Amino acid sequence: MRSFYRKLLATLLAGGMLFSSLASAAEPLKIGYSDWPGWVAYEIAIEKGWFKEEGVDVIFEWFDYVASMDAFAAGKLDGVGMTNGDALVTGSTGAKSVMILMNDYSNGNDMVIGKPGINSIKDLKGKKVGVEVGFVSHLLLLNALEKNGMTETDVELVNAPTNETPQVLASGEVDAIVAWQPSSGQALQLVPGSKPIYTSADEPGLIYDMLCVSPESLAARADDWKKVIKVWYRAVAYLKDPATREDAVKIMASRVGLEPAEYKSFIDGTNILTLEEAKKFMVKGEGFTSIYASSKIADDFNVANKVYEKPEDVDAYIDPSLMMGM
């Protein structure tokens, strides 16, 4: 009789485990991504079927960047691609996230672009600059001004959504804009003679692009998130391998509707990091070579510009443990 009950209990437990497994399988991780090379690279793994191969069920949802953050804040996503600074902004509204993966840092794709005749940051004194106030492009502008012995009071800001800045520059309403790809590239094409006068390559580490996940999802499904990270670095290796780079670029370019030859320059302006490279930035340190220090600078910027009122607990937004354990 005891043997019967033991068998019955084992059957029920196995059934419970199966039910739990099926329930988990019925709820794939939902990740929002947008048109930035460091996130478009997920497309390699999506097309190759590597997430399924790794045993993690993931749905990637394509958004405009700002819309992706809104969807995350509304609880519609488990994770989203955001800059470290924007993760703090979103978190200040109550939608906290944890940065578990560093995809890249911007290495030239974010630009201050001057109209014809504007050849340097110092040429902007007394001029109008179109920029999305309170966003990472605004931080890049302040960094450029500071490096040239200027402050925000030396220019007149014209608030404009980043995806509209090419048209704003073309209208003649402003003397320069600040934008990231693809908007920065569109502006250069739309306004003949315009040129980058400062880029994120002038301050590496100012803008880190991260995978940010909800604390609840991370706590409940850390093993699945670790699998996501593992697959990500498989995609990075595929992109960086000379033997497969052409195919990787083709996949990424197709996702955003560009020719591979054109999209290569977008990738070149983004330092997509290998695991070992990323680990070096996921430790505490000084300046822009540490995600912690860079995020603290972004936090100070956000408070100073009244993006939110009180400083955020920066350390609470960063968890390198899954990366470091690989």
State whether 19 and 165 are in the same domain: no
Mark which of 142, 174, 202 sits at the end of a domain: 202
Same domain, 193 and 115: yes
What residue numbers bound the domain in which 217 lies? 6-106+210-324
Please check whether residues 101 and 238 belong to one and the same domain: yes
| Same structural domain, 158 and 283 | no
The answer to the question of residue 14 being in a domain is: yes
Q: Which of 161, 176, 202 is the last residue of a domain?
A: 202
What's the CATH number where 180 sits?
Answer: 3.40.190.10
Q: Which residue has the tokens 């670790």?
A: 226
Please check whether residues 227 and 86 belong to one and the same domain: yes
Whether 298 is in a domain gets the answer: yes
Q: What is the pLDDT of residue 14?
A: 45
Task: Report yes or no on 245 lying in a domain.
Answer: yes
198 in the same domain as 121: yes
- The residue ranges of DSSP E strands in 28-165, in sequence order, are 29-33, 58-62, 79-83, 98-106, 111-114, 128-131, 156-159
Beta strand extents in the chain (DSSP E only): 29-33, 58-62, 79-83, 98-106, 111-114, 128-131, 156-159, 176-179, 195-199, 208-213, 270-272
pLDDT at 252: 98
61 lies in the same domain as 147: no
| Strands, E assignment, 180-284 | 195-199, 208-213, 270-272
Residue 305's pLDDT is what?
87
Enter the pTM of the model.
Answer: 0.86
Measured CA to CA, the distance from residue 213 to residue 318 in angstroms comes to 10
Say how far apart CA 146 and CA 129 lie, in whole Å: 15
Residue-level pLDDT at 134: 85
State the total domains in the chain. Answer: 2
CA-nearest of 252, 279, 284, 278 to 266 is: 252
For residue range 60-72, list pLDDT tens digits in order: 999 999 999 999 9
CA 199-200-201 angle, to 5 degrees, is 85
Q: What is the mean pLDDT of the chain?
A: 92
Q: 93 and 217: one domain? A: yes
Based on the domain organization, do 57 and 173 belong to the same domain?
Answer: no
**8-52 tens-digit pLDDT:** 334 434 444 343 444 444 499 999 999 999 999 999 999 999 999
Say if residue 231 is in the same domain as residue 281. yes
- Whether 125 maps to a domain, the answer reads yes
Amino acid letter, residue 80: V
In a domain, 220, yes or no: yes
* Domain match, 260 and 293 both: yes
The type of residue at 65 is Y
Length of the chain: 326
Q: Name the DSSP letter for residue 283.
A: S
The answer to whether position 297 is within a domain reads: yes
Where does a domain end: 162, 186, 202?
A: 202
Residue 99 sits in the same domain as residue 244: yes
pLDDT, mean of each 10-residue run, the chain (326 residues): 35 41 65 97 98 98 96 98 96 97 96 98 98 92 96 97 97 97 95 97 95 98 98 98 98 97 94 98 96 96 92 98 96
Q: Which amino acid is at 115?
A: K
Look at residue 287 and tell me if it is in a domain.
yes
1 found inside a domain = no
What is the Cα–Cα distance from 222 to 214, expressed in whole angstroms? Answer: 11
